[in-house]
Amino acid sequence: MSFSSDFLQEAKKIIDSLPESKLEGMAQKLCEVRSRGGRLFILGVGGSAASASHAANDFRKICGIEAYAPTDNVAELTARTNDEGWPTVFAEYLKVSRLGANDAVLVFSVGGGSLEKNVSLNLVRALELARTARSTILGVVGRDGGHTARVADACVIIPAVNPDRVTPHTEAFHGVVWHLLVSHPLLKASPTMWESVK
């Protein structure tokens, strides 16, 4: 078998293993956030930051949810990194945004953050703040989900079907999950362009 065949077979296994009840639960939580006028803050680092930016657009444009990706504000992100340190960049952004109980934080991550392993502490600190603010916490993560999976109200863990390819599969399926969500009848409020062109 070729590498391409292996990779695609792994992707099929992931699709077959995705927890439908968790996906439906996440759609319901996001519907509740929109109904109460809450905002959605989408956090990600590296490739997951790019996913966060794209998803913020989709949740705003397709679902009518006020959504933000803090990494889109590169000036604030780099100023905070320089002046205050990387571990607090998201928490401090959320403090200025007055994160509250009506709002939600959605994490895209491979590992979900870990205080014990000293990885993605910016996600850990942001989620600590979100818990204190009683915000809804959502996640799409890989491996065991780390800190995100432990504290989330709804979390989809992308199954690790091959330990050598956890990162590419998890980051690829971030897109699958958020596109499922913005297409979900509970959330979709506006037509997408190519489906509306006759």
Query: Is residue 44 included in any domain, yes or no?
Result: yes
Query: Is residue 65 included in any domain, yes or no?
Result: yes
> pLDDT tens digits for 57-80?
999 999 999 999 999 999 999 999
The counts of H helices and E strands in the chain are 9, 5
The CA–CA distances, whole Å, from 94 to 15, 156, 177, 181, 182 equal 33, 23, 24, 23, 23
Flag whether pLDDT at 196 surpasses 90: no
CATH for 156: 3.40.50.10490
Query: Is residue 197 included in any domain, yes or no?
Result: no
Domain, as residue range, for 150: 3-190
Confidence (pLDDT) at 181? 98
Mean pLDDT, residues 81-89: 96
**What is the tally of structural domains in the chain?**
1
Query: Is residue 196 included in any domain, yes or no?
Result: no
* Run of H or E including 138: strand 136-141
Q: Is 122 helix (H, G, I), strand (E, B) or coil?
A: helix
CB-CB neighbours of 190 under 10 Å:
12
> pLDDT tens digits for 105-164?
999 999 999 999 989 999 999 999 999 999 999 999 998 999 999 999 999 999 999 999
> pLDDT tens digits for 180-192?
999 999 999 998 8
